[in-house]
A = this chain, B = another copy of it.
Amino acid sequence: MSVLPTDSLSTPRFVGLPSFMRLPMATELQGLDAAIVGLPSDSGAPFRTGARFAPNALRAMSVMLRPINPYRGHINIFEVLRVADAGDATCVPGYEIESLAALERALDAVVEAGAVPFGIGGDHSVSLAGLRAVAKRHGPLGLVHFDSHTDTWDSYFDGKRYSAGTMFRRAIEEGIVDPARSIQVGMRGSLFQPADVSQSVDLGLEVITCDEMFALGLPETARRIAARSAGHPAFLSFDLDFVDPAYAPGVETPECGGPTARETLSLLRSLQGLNLVGCDVVELNPSYDGPGQITALLGATVMAELLAILAEARVRERSR
């Protein structure tokens, strides 16, 4: 039996505390297909901080979304999937390592209950908590990573190994990401070192830079993403700075010259055949988003598209 969100044709969207897409708050994780989980930690942020306020900012704009996705056969996400908003994981601000552990514990509960976690960051280091929790159940994961940066550096300030710029190297080292089934898309902009991008290739990842993505075209890019993970359990991580700052000003590390929101959504809507076992949308920073909060809206829209990928997959499974 499905649990439906509040109907925005009956009750105005501004009524009530804003859960993700006006879903019910989870009172019980068992039986859910997917759970929205806020991951409000920003201790991994090397520059702009404040992503701790992102989960609620994204939720506040998600009330504008409607349950039916016309890009995947007019599927009603919440008739297919039982989804609830599981609230936020806790964290320990100023203590990155302890924060990741706290997030991981909350995500463990979601994964153990059999639900796919859809995390709302937080800075990008929260993905490490997600990958750890999900890999416990599914083994080494294919990573599908949208970003303008590779986040495969080795360490940051004072040699610290855990931050929003290093977590995917850590995940490969920890054996929870299988680079051979993983892909990074959208890299662009100036570099610290000549190897900022090639270091990912050296780690075994496939990389499609932003320029390469446009040279290939979006449909071919989508095809390559699917081919790379090839049905293997995949964790999709979407850093909002993948998109141009005009569409996503409210992020930690904006990088000029990215795709538009239409291009981005078109790419996500054409992804086929992914076996999503975990997702996150990260790096929203509402303090830099302006009164229109368009980054938060885009983040919520991306999350809804990720839910639709899972919903469509489940429809296919059931129709077999």
Contacts and interface: CB of A to CB of B under 8 A. Distances in A.
Interface of A: 7-19, 25, 38, 40, 42-50, 52-53, 56, 59-60, 64-70, 74, 76, 87-96, 98, 102, 153, 156-158, 160, 162-163, 189-194, 196-197, 210, 244-247, 249-251, 253-254, 256-262, 264-266, 287-294, 297-298, 301, 304
A50 B49 contact: yes
Nearest to A19: B17
User: Looking at chain A's contact residues, is the secondary structure mostly helix, strand, loop, or mixed?
Assistant: loop
B291 A288 contact: yes
Nearest to A266: B257
B93 A190 contact: no
A89 B12 CA distance: 10
Among all A-B residue pairs, the 3 with the closest Cβ atoms: A249-B292, A43-B94, A94-B96
Contacts of A76: 194
A16 B247 contact: no
B192 A9 contact: yes
Contact of A68 (B13, B157, B192): B192
Given A245-B297, A247-B246, A294-B246, A14 B40 contact: yes
B292 A288 contact: yes
